[in-house]
A and B are shown apart, each in its own frame.
Chain A
């Protein structure tokens, strides 16, 4: 496994963890796409 592979791997895992953090934690469990309080501030 070369250095390029390691870098790609870190990039992919980092991106996946960030996506998880953003969708789960940063949005505080707001149900994405649902019509509950999550979308309260959304201008339709």
Chain B
């Protein structure tokens, strides 16, 4: 086995381009997105778990006078067309023909990464290796001979540490140089055994003779390999209709001699080459210590402890989230309901605006949007802790320990990844189902995903927990998430026996080493996840708040909100909700508007109950501003004390009954702890929001799956709320 100079596919590419296109490809979790973010200062989503990048994404920047477009391809282990990620990556490299590929190779795991590298070399595109996570390899005592690696592969190898921005300048220099001189940097290619090479030559000759037009589109040697491997996806893509007997004629002696199919034979040779190359280049310490990752995994992945540890970790996340953010939420709530409302009313009165416009601004927009904004601190705190778990590598373990539970519902651990994304927002979770190869898995995962409690439901929980369950806030919040997961497992088992019969495929998941996520990455990705809610508040929650105000005040001059259009709609629906404990028009109306987005449930409640608030005293503008500042300082202090309270000191939220907002006070009159819990469960489970519905239609091309989700979730929400309410009544709990 040896390497020879590859085909000059530079002819296939345009030599001069204004923009240099650099594809960044590599194994999952090798740090591609981190590398791009470090280079271009962009904010691609990074997580210490495989499968983060599903789509290709790009970042533009300038380097030494050249415009560079970095394209982040999904992480793949090979370029075989078995998964969506592999197809996206391969199709891009073949059809878009980037000027150069930066192949990100995990320096701590070179042998496995080289398999993909070898396949990339066959494409004839200049390749530069970013030997990433080089610092960890050095810490482990690996000595990597990069010069030997360069000589053997015929490409430039640059050690990098993307998280510390180390080696990036050398990498860009090498990439731009390779793009400028593609013929000089044409990579060497693996020379397979003589049998394979002669079969490939036979096929390639046939292709050159009968399909010469393809020479402009594909490297012909590579195409010959694909034909030999029987790659139907590629043959269809190229419009190749080759007589099967011709392929058999070229390969039958190989399959007979090896007793295996061509694809496996070629894969074996690639693996053997990668292993040999690694032996030559990497010197490992002779005595290997048990690494920290292994020590932690011994406990975290323990058969009996795995799931309890996962549940405990989630509990701690919710408890910290609640304790840290609650004072800030109260501050925003207090500021919008008090000083800001007064300021808005004064401003409108000052310009002689109609009274109803002042009411729309204060009781509509500020009550609706302001109330939802009060939950932004909770959402950001939650996203921060979830991002920390993702970045540390724990989330991959969570998927691993959940694999068994997932199998019971006919899925495998990989399906848990879109579900984990669903804890932030169900919509990216729906899109992430495309990482699943099997259409059955995709549909089933998308159906169960809305049961994962997204951030939009948090405001509802926080209001009701604040009103009824302050002493056990974290536990009640945690119970909502656990209920979602448990019901997803139950529904999965039911679907597996009805709509989705069949076995779930085996899934091998890579467990990345534990890493301490950098604060910069944590903050960037917390912001990326959380800003979605701010944008929502500024767009459709704002719009719905206005519409709800009108629906509560039309027909014009209506005396009681109960007689308004929204009130009447609520009254029609209320009887259905009677058996589950909240058959009042206010709750029914809030649930209807919550179909747009679940945060709107509390926004609408804030608008409905706005009249119930006490008359506010007359204050000056400067007093209002001072009040906002003073309450913020108090919120910071409360938040810090609450975090300590998490670890044993008495919780402030448990002590301060006076701080409950106006809405919580009204809710305490309209609900009991039991009906409040049933209501929270109903909000968790009832129909996915409109955005999820549209995402499902977009992803599956049909309304069918949304229809199924809508139907089963409505029934499930009603049945669960009924069980909680009637069960609690029977047992005399929380009445």
Contact = CB atoms under 8 A, between A and B. Distances in A.
Contact of B535 (A15, A24, A32, A35): A32
A44 B58 contact: yes
Contacts of B43: 35, 44
Contact of A25 (B45, B55, B547, B694): B694
B626 interface: no
User: Do most interface residues of chain B lie in helix, strand or loop, or is the interface mixed?
Assistant: helix
Interface size class of B (residues with CB under 8 A): 35 or more
A44 B534 CA distance: 20
Interface stretch (B175-183, B536-544, B577-585): B536-544
Contacts of B57: 35, 39-40, 44
Given A34-B427, A44-B43, A29 B692 contact: yes
Interface string B523-561: 000001101101110011011101100100000110000
Given A8-B357, A31-B427, A35-B528, A16 B694 contact: no
Nearest to B692: A29
B535 A16 contact: no
A19 B427 contact: no
Contact of A44 (B42, B425, B432): B42
User: Do most interface residues of chain A lie in helix, strand or loop, or is the interface mixed?
Assistant: helix
Interface string A2-36: 00010011001101110110111100111111111
A9 B692 contact: no
Given A34-B425, A35-B45, A17 B532 contact: no
Interface string B640-679: 0000000000000000000000000000000000000000
Contacts of B539: 19, 22-23, 32
Contact of B428 (A19, A35, A40): A35
A32 B694 contact: no
Contacts of A12: 360, 546, 550
A19 B60 contact: no
A20 to B, nearest CB: 5
B427 to A, nearest CB: 4
Contacts, number: 109
Contact of B55 (A13, A20, A37, A43): A37
A18 B16 CA distance: 46
Interface residues of A, number: 30
A33 B380 CA distance: 14
Interface in B424-474: 425, 427-428, 431-432
Contacts of B254: none
A10 to B, nearest CB: 11
In the A-B complex, list the 9 residue pairs whose CB atoms are closest, starting with the nearest. A29-B694, A31-B427, A44-B42, A36-B428, A35-B45, A33-B532, A19-B543, A16-B543, A16-B546
13 contacts: A20-B540, A20-B544, A20-B547, A29-B427, A29-B690, A31-B427, A34-B428, A34-B528, A35-B44, A36-B55, A37-B55, A38-B431, A40-B57
Interface of B: 40, 42-45, 54-60, 354, 356-357, 360, 425, 427-428, 431-432, 528-529, 531-532, 534-536, 539-540, 542-544, 546-547, 550, 556-557, 596, 690-695, 697-698
Given A30-B427, A35-B528, 17 more contacts: A5-B356, A12-B360, A20-B543, A20-B547, A20-B596, A24-B691, A24-B694, A28-B694, A28-B698, A29-B698, A31-B532, A33-B532, A34-B529, A43-B59, A44-B40, A44-B58, A44-B59
